[in-house]
Structure 1
């Protein structure tokens, strides 16, 4: 009950701050305040507007906002988001472009389950959708999943990926970004052993912790310093009475957000202060740079306790993937069984989340794969976000990934020229 009360207390604090912001905005917006020509009212209204928006976004899942793709015919084609596989903890969704001939490249984009929604990959989806048919793993917020749905740990995550790959078929090209990279590698290896015909054609791993010890970061240092007992005691709470997952043990999104913000508290404080000034001066807009970034950054989701704990213990502490000792449903996965799936690794030179070398370890684990089926790219000057959604992705990495897909598609290169939108 103590954990449940703690969860509800955090939600109550968030709700209170949202209410304070709304109240300040309303009070400072009364026409009567115009009788007093003092900037305090403009600042009060601006503070209230920014505060209300920030705290409201913390419990709202962002929209994909992927509605139109410009085709090679020069026309706008509408995009429909369809759920093809529905599961309790996550769905496989497809972005179907209407009125356009189906593209030969079939891409499964594996989104991370690390605090933010799959919509964090919105710009990645937009850039790929022009030249590919795109599917995305859309993970659910643990607070909305009833306890009766059971557990969800990294083994379940791996089995989900295998099911999604089976559904899409052998002409699939998998791109795993950040956290799911080691599990996507394990899922591919398991399919290689059990159902070779269900394997994808290519597997691209972008900035993932295949071997966390290959290059220590603050994330890996934290994993080493803190014991599992400390994590269980300090990080986990039970979902409160407001949500369908009441009673489920989770690592709350609000607690994760606190950690995210504390890592760069000065930068975030400056950004919000400057936004308040812009709003007060009338220089801000609904979709300005600040709002676009923080609407996504502040939208956090709860993670099941077993997924969080198993990730820390088995991926970071025990390094089961790095040592090729990962067990799924009682079966030890042998990554060396991958012998026909082309594997590409992408890293950022200045990645401070998954430092250079951590993801590269995947190629050494693929002992059954010939050298011509392996590829590696390290993007100069790129940080973690830039290698899958920033300028480095758009200008350099994306064309390389598409060329890699074409080179390993089992046939001649197909499709039109590269065109990036959004």
Structure 2
């Protein structure tokens, strides 16, 4: 019933959004003698804000056409290199990169938003690296015949993507995928896999949510596991290819995140209204662009979501050495060569300070010179991987870390065992 009720509401809002947009256009039309005057301008701006807020959102495109490196423009080539039911692997490159440029796999969260939320991350890292990124599927479009997708499958997908990229790759996990990426590095390290990552950068990830718990963490531990199963999991309705698949709907996650900072979101829309009234188109467009991406959400497979709640947020299995993958315990002590960089934001209200840094404590066999921690001052969760502070303060740290161990890997210090 939850999904069906949402679909009815979505249809009504779509019609209302179209009506509001059309009316705003009429009020702003140059042929309207009252356009831009007093009440007419106020009404047009208010309707435009509502139309934008209620408009339907599909999967956004990365849309990175040109990149500027050291003052030179280069055309960007975007390619899907691996296609799998629950997620593809995309590659971004340009002619300005040297043939031996580092290869970086960015692991995007499977947490309700599309991989395009990391557009700014991709664009910045592409300046020095051939960038690959996980492009996770919207579960409502995956037919039941494709089976289930859980945390074990997520780890296997990452391993397969690294095998496609080949030996000597680097990995950057943003937020939630820090856990499966960390586990994959341990499993590949234990197996002396030739494609195990040279470096693993984890940014705002919930490695150990017992450290500085946030409201998100508290929500996960104050309710029993069965509560999540019965209250936020629903079936995909008949108008989608994934009919009958049990999912955690993206619209539910978006509602929960919006409610956490409802005041700031309301203020953002009020400022959007003010900017439109003042004719500050650049500021208004920036706000619209952010929310177009933020409101574009997708569904998660129920198995993956429920397992993540249980393993990561309730039992803390990975840092306690109790995470099991395909019947085998994940041994973090097997990480002996993959260099770890942990990045956190001082104002992160999703992953508290210390949750990502915990990875450095639970890898006893990794030398200290292969561990680094960086706390980004005055940076919230989103700012860790996007925006000016990301580009100017955080990304250079990642660049230096990758460059340092890229040289060591090319010098043959990372043992490759076939």
For normalisation by structure 1, the TM-score amounts to 0.90
Superposed counterparts of 1:47-86, under 5 Å: 47-57=46-56, 59-71=57-69, 74-86=71-83
Q: Following the alignment from structure 1 to structure 2, what is the Cα–Cα distance between the partners of residues 70 and 100?
A: 12
| 1:91 corresponding residue in structure 2 | 88
| Residue 11 in structure 1 maps to residue 13 in structure 2 | no
Question: Per-residue displacement from partner, 1:191-224 (whole Å, max 9, x unpaired)?
Answer: 1122432211111111101111122111111111
Answer whether contact 2:76 2:94 (CA < 8 A) is retained.
yes
Counterparts in 2 of 1:42 and 1:168: CA distance versus 1, 3 Å: same
Answer whether contact 2:97 2:130 (CA < 8 A) is retained.
no
Q: Following the alignment from structure 1 to structure 2, what is the Cα–Cα distance between the partners of residues 26 and 407?
A: 55
Question: Per-residue displacement from partner, 1:145-168 (whole Å, max 9, x unpaired)?
Answer: 111111111111111111111111
Counterparts in 2 of 1:46 and 1:242: CA distance versus 1, 3 Å: farther
Superposition deviation, residue 411 in structure 1: 4.2
Question: Per-residue displacement from partner, 1:69-105 (whole Å, max 9, x unpaired)?
Answer: 2245x54221121111111111110012146543521
CA-based RMSD: 2.3
Secondary structure of the structure 2 residue equivalent to 1:267: helix
Question: Per-residue displacement from partner, 1:242-263 (whole Å, max 9, x unpaired)?
Answer: 2211111111111111111111
Superposition deviation, residue 300 in structure 1: 1.0
Unaligned stretches of 5+ in structure 1?
A: 415-422
Q: Following the alignment from structure 2 to structure 1, what is the Cα–Cα distance between the partners of residues 204 and 67?
A: 27
| 2:45 corresponding residue in structure 1 | 46
Q: Following the alignment from structure 1 to structure 2, what is the Cα–Cα distance between the partners of residues 380 and 302?
A: 33
| 2:376 corresponding residue in structure 1 | 379
| 2:258 corresponding residue in structure 1 | 261
Answer whether contact 1:349 1:378 (CA < 8 A) is retained.
yes
Range 367-376 or range 134-143, more displaced:
367-376
Counterparts in 2 of 1:282 and 1:328: CA distance versus 1, 3 Å: same
Q: Following the alignment from structure 1 to structure 2, what is the Cα–Cα distance between the partners of residues 352 and 395?
A: 22
Counterparts in 2 of 1:50 and 1:256: CA distance versus 1, 3 Å: same
Answer whether contact 1:103 1:133 (CA < 8 A) is retained.
no
Q: Following the alignment from structure 1 to structure 2, what is the Cα–Cα distance between the partners of residues 164 and 16?
A: 41
Answer whether contact 1:91 1:138 (CA < 8 A) is retained.
yes
Q: Following the alignment from structure 1 to structure 2, what is the Cα–Cα distance between the partners of residues 266 and 181?
A: 29
2:362 to 362, 365, 368: 365
- In the alignment of these two chains, the number of paired residues is 408
Q: Following the alignment from structure 2 to structure 1, what is the Cα–Cα distance between the partners of residues 176 and 339?
A: 20
Secondary structure of the structure 2 residue equivalent to 1:212: coil
| Residue 145 in structure 1 maps to residue 142 in structure 2 | yes
Question: Per-residue displacement from partner, 1:365-396 (whole Å, max 9, x unpaired)?
Answer: 11221111111111222221222223332222
Q: Following the alignment from structure 1 to structure 2, what is the Cα–Cα distance between the partners of residues 244 and 412?
A: 44
| Residue 115 in structure 1 maps to residue 112 in structure 2 | yes
| Residue 298 in structure 1 maps to residue 291 in structure 2 | no
| 1:157 corresponding residue in structure 2 | 154
Q: Following the alignment from structure 2 to structure 1, what is the Cα–Cα distance between the partners of residues 329 and 126?
A: 36
Q: Following the alignment from structure 1 to structure 2, what is the Cα–Cα distance between the partners of residues 21 and 105?
A: 45
Q: Following the alignment from structure 1 to structure 2, what is the Cα–Cα distance between the partners of residues 413 and 17?
A: 55
Q: Following the alignment from structure 1 to structure 2, what is the Cα–Cα distance between the partners of residues 139 and 378?
A: 28
Question: Per-residue displacement from partner, 1:289-316 (whole Å, max 9, x unpaired)?
Answer: 2112111111111111111111100111
Counterparts in 2 of 1:306 and 1:32: CA distance versus 1, 3 Å: same
Unaligned stretches of 5+ in structure 2?
A: 412-418
Superposed counterparts of 1:222-241, under 5 Å: 222-241=219-238
| 1:26 corresponding residue in structure 2 | 22
For normalisation by structure 2, the TM-score amounts to 0.91
Answer whether contact 1:201 1:341 (CA < 8 A) is retained.
yes
Counterparts in 2 of 1:269 and 1:331: CA distance versus 1, 3 Å: same
